[in-house]
Structure formats: structure tokens, C-alpha cells
Amino acid sequence: MVKARKASGKGVKAPAAAEKSQGGKSSIVAPKKGRGSRKPAPLPAKQEQKEGEEEQPLLELGAQRQRWLSFLKQRSLSTEEAAKLLLDSFEYKGLVKYTGGCHCGAVRFEVWASTDLHVFDCNCSICVKKQNRHFIVPAARFKLLKGSNNLTTYTFNTHKAKHTFCKTCGVQSFYTPRSNPDGYGVAPHCLDDDGTVHSIDVEQINGKEWEKAMKEHKTIRGMSKS
């Protein structure tokens, strides 16, 4: 094991619409068309519903309403920011958010991962030449912050692995592995060094016999599942 240093407003009703009560909830119902009837005015832009999109119910806070409002005020958060904070706390429990990128800074990303990284060191033809050591995360835990137009991709053989790298400095800070096409392989040496990484456990992968190695490995394919 290689040790790293610690590291409220009210809704607007459409004109000429009637209200229908369903289970105590009111909904807007347009009147039936008939001779001489006028076409109801369209709902305001914010209330228009996209085709095929299900109507989302409003958040019912009940007795927690005042706690929620105080939470937003004390931390100067918007409702969206607070929701993201709470979702991150539950969905990424036990993980930390890292940032990283290429050498020139044109490509930047963030990724949620453990403070103890499990890194793969592959000996296939390309990984040896570019010293491709990486840890695997689901796509949902990775976000490209900038540089999508500054990335180029190299593929070969089965063309399933997408070897992405910066057009300017040539650094591959992340890529899409053949073993995990639904996730990302992130280079630990391209993370910002803020002392968050506690340890790095390196596992050798026999990429020269890729099919055999993947068949024998019990956990690698599941590492990109959310």
C-alpha cells in the first residue's frame, strides 16, 4: 500500500378555467370546448408543462417548514442549493468531493470517491506506455467542470475504451475504461493535492490477457455501478 499524506408565492390560475378537487388537492381544469367558447389563455411560462413530463408535487414540509426556512436563512442557501447539499450527504455518504484536471488547466473535473483509493495498474500495450493508473467511479459521481471542447479521444482494437486527453498539454486526467464503459477511470495523480487522500492501494491488472483478467476479477465491473 502506498500511503499519501492526509491528503411562496401563490400560483396563478389560467383564465376561464374551473377548479376540480381531488383528495383535498385543487387542480386547474380547462373548460370543454363548445360553440362560441373561447380558447383558454395559456399558463404562464413557469407553469407550462413539457410534453411527456409528469407533474411534480410540491414539497410538503408540514411541521418541518420553519426548520427548513431557518436552515436556508442561516446558511444563505437557495432551495436548490440546500436540496443538493442534503442529497449529496445521503447519496455520497462516506465519500469526499475531489477536484482535478490536466496540466494546463483547460480541463477540470470533480469526482466523489473514498479517501482510501483503490487504484488499478494495467500492463496492456497502451497503459504501459502512458502509465495509466486509475480508480473507477460511476458516471453519476463524476462531473466535467470545463474543457469538453479541449478534449480529444483515441481508440484502438475494440474501440470500447475511450482514451480522452487534453489537446493542449496532452495529459489524460480521466478516461472511459473498457472494463467499465458506464463509468470513468480517474488518474489519482491528477487530483488537486489538498491532503484529502489518506491512502492508495494499487492492484496489478493483467491487461495483456484482458478477457481472462476480467473473467477472473470479481469486483471490477461493479465499481461503475451507482
User: Are 198 and 6 contacting, i.e. CB atoms less than 8 angstroms apart?
Assistant: yes
Predicted TM-score (pTM) above 0.75? no
- What is the DSSP pairing of strand 151-154 with strand 142-146? unpaired
CA-to-CA distance for 57 and 205, rounded, in angstroms?
48
Torsions phi, psi of 125, nearest 5?
Answer: -60, -40
CA-to-CA distance for 208 and 144, rounded, in angstroms?
30
**pLDDT tens-digit map of 67-89:** 888 888 888 988 888 887 777 77
Name the CATH topology of 95-216: 2.170.150
Residue 201 clears pLDDT 60, i.e. is over it: yes
Q: Coil, strand, or helix at residue 89?
A: helix
**pLDDT tens-digit map of 113-170:** 999 999 999 999 999 999 999 999 999 999 999 999 999 999 998 898 999 999 999 9
User: Are 226 and 184 contacting, i.e. CB atoms less than 8 angstroms apart?
Assistant: no
Q: Coil, strand, or helix at residue 63?
A: helix
Lookup result for grid cell 408535487: 57
* CA neighbours closer than 13 Å in the CB half-sphere of residue 148: 3
